[in-house]
Amino acid sequence: MNKLTFEGQTAIVTGAGTGIGFEIARQLCEQGAAVLLNDIDEKLSNEAAEKIKSEGGKCIALAGDAGNIDFIQKLVNLAVSEFDQLNIAIANAGITTYGSFLDYSPESFQKIIHLNLQGSFFLAQTVARQMKAQKSGGRILLMSSVTGVQAHPFLVPYGMTKAALQMLAKGLVCELSQFGITVNAIAPGAVVTERTLSEDPDYPKEWSKLTPTRDVT
C-alpha cells in the first residue's frame, strides 16, 4: 500500500502554535504539504513554524485573530501568494470557557462565538471560494469535540459551538461537494498538551474521568 502524502499541496491550519493544531501542521509538512500556520500569539506562531522548518518542513507563520473576517481573507491571500494554491484548510482555532449557565456573561458568550463559530464558518467560506475558483477541489476540516455530542456541566456554550460545527460540516457537504470540496468535522476528547500540563498539573491523573479541562478541542 502506498503511503498517503500531501506532496505539492498547500494547507492553512489555525490555532497551531501548540497542541493539536501544531501536530497537525507538523505532520502535514512531514507528508510534503506547504503549511501556513496561524496562532493569535505571534511568538508561538513564529516558534512553531521555525521548529517545523528545522525538521525539513515547508511552513510559514501568520499571527492574528482567526475569528476576524478580514484576517481570514489575509490568511487565504497569503497562502495563495506564497504557494500558488490552497488545497486544505483546518479550522482548529478555538477557546474553551467555563462557567455556570445561570451566571454566564454576554461578553464570554460573544467571545466564544467569535472564534469557535464565526472563525470556522468564514474560514470555510473563504477557502471554499478560493477552491471553487481553482477548479481543483479541496479539503476542509472543522474541529468539533466530544462535548458536541455529550453534555458536560459548566461547558454549555462551548459544547453548543462544537455541536454547531458538526451541523455546519453536514450542510457544507450539500453545497460544496459539487465543486469537489470535501468537508468533515472530527470530535476529539480531552488531550494532554502543553497548555493542559502547564495550566492543570493534575490533568494527566484526571483525564480518564472524562472531565474536560481548558484544552479540550
Distance CA 48, CA 39 (A): 9
Q: Mark whether 162 is an active-site residue.
A: yes
What letter would DSSP give residue 147?
Answer: G
Query: Which of the residues 111, 162, 203, 205 is marked catalytic?
Result: 162
**Strand 34-39, strand 10-13: pairing:** parallel
Query: Which of the residues 45, 120, 144, 203 is marked catalytic?
Result: 144
Looking up cell 458536541 gives 148
Distance CA 104, CA 156 (A): 10
Query: Which of the residues 51, 145, 208, 209 is marked catalytic?
Result: 145
Distance CA 181, CA 173 (A): 8
Distance CA 188, CA 133 (A): 32
Q: Mark whether 54 is an active-site residue.
A: no
Tell me the residue type at 52: I
For residue 206, give the C-alpha cell: 484526571
Query: Which of the residues 45, 120, 158, 203 is marked catalytic?
Result: 158
Q: Mark whether 145 is an active-site residue.
A: yes
Give catalytic residues, as residue numbers: 144-145, 158, 162
